[in-house]
Chain A
């Protein structure tokens, strides 16, 4: 019965994907898996593919305003660049050559990243907040609810199509300087070069066979 085949397909794919994508050291795969009416090729990117760069620095971001307040003392992030991009960590190409819609399920683990130089040591947390505040992008809960740390995603794979399902993060890359002011004068300046993800994303594209 088709239904039985489908059931094996979904369960097997889920566990296969988990064993691949769950490991931090998973190598890029690319092997073909045939289950039921689906033919699946998965790729896990150990080093995510960065693409879709958009410059997002506003003119107002370039203003070098020292810390406000009576004593003009504090730390500010003087931003030089701000680029938005996508970081792809996983994709699956699924061919459904049957006359029935099918489904593809995957266990997904939330992954966010933060890399780069943030300035003087011992102050990372505070510096981070200053940078994030200036960049103005924070992880948000959108319409719908935030995923649990591990969650299951199921995609409907239309009949007679090749469907590509992609997973990754929306990310920001920013460079600039963390500047410490004391009574209006620059006391210290540290170069910043940071990448961080602020939202997981996934998408699906189908092409007719």
Chain B
């Protein structure tokens, strides 16, 4: 015979499980750490080489290369405009991305005028900015001729390189004597 007590107990248990079900849908005050866990994990890349094909003129627009010469050095400055998609990838790349300037492929024009190889450059990306400035200082040999100085001051002699963690160039941008920035191409 089913005792009323058993029924009561069963009902009680059912009610309790019902309650615990309700608990999961109750509003629980979320702490900041809980909030972060609910944000979906962004796709991340190991190396900038994973998406090297995306370093095209559409996604990275270069300004005219600014070249300032001091006594024994030259300061190169380039403004670059990153597309949202490329910037996102760069911000979610594990291994370091470097930048540098270099001779045009196969040339040694600038190399022959330098006292030493320059250090690679890094830039700090943020979600708000798309326009960044990359600067690099080159140390010059002594006793350069006028022709040497002219070569140094000519943006057409340089390329801008995106460098991976192995210090190899995954993308080059050339023709730095003309600007691709929209602001410089207004009629």
Contact = CB atoms under 8 A, between A and B. Distances in A.
Closest 7 CB pairs of A and B: A144-B102, A103-B57, A201-B106, A156-B175, A143-B111, A105-B56, A7-B58
Interface stretch (B3-11, B19-27, B176-184): B176-184
A167 B172 CA distance: 14
Contacts of B56: 10-11, 14, 103, 105, 152, 154
Contacts, number: 134
B117 interface: yes
A6 interface: yes
Interface stretch (A20-28, A71-79, A94-102): A94-102
Interface residues of A, number: 41
B67 interface: no
Interface string B134-176: 0000000000000000000000000101011001111111111
A204 B105 CA distance: 11
B53 interface: yes
A144 B170 contact: no
A118 to B, nearest CB: 25
B107 interface: yes
Contact of A142 (B103, B168, B176, B180): B103
Contact of A155 (B52, B100, B167, B174): B174
A158 B57 CA distance: 13
Contacts of B170: 147-148, 151-152
A31 interface: no
A152 B52 contact: yes
B172 A154 contact: yes
Given A103-B180, A148-B164, A151-B169, A143 B105 contact: no
Contacts of B174: 153-156, 202, 204
B89 to A, nearest CB: 14
B57 A6 contact: yes
Contacts of A202: 104-106, 174
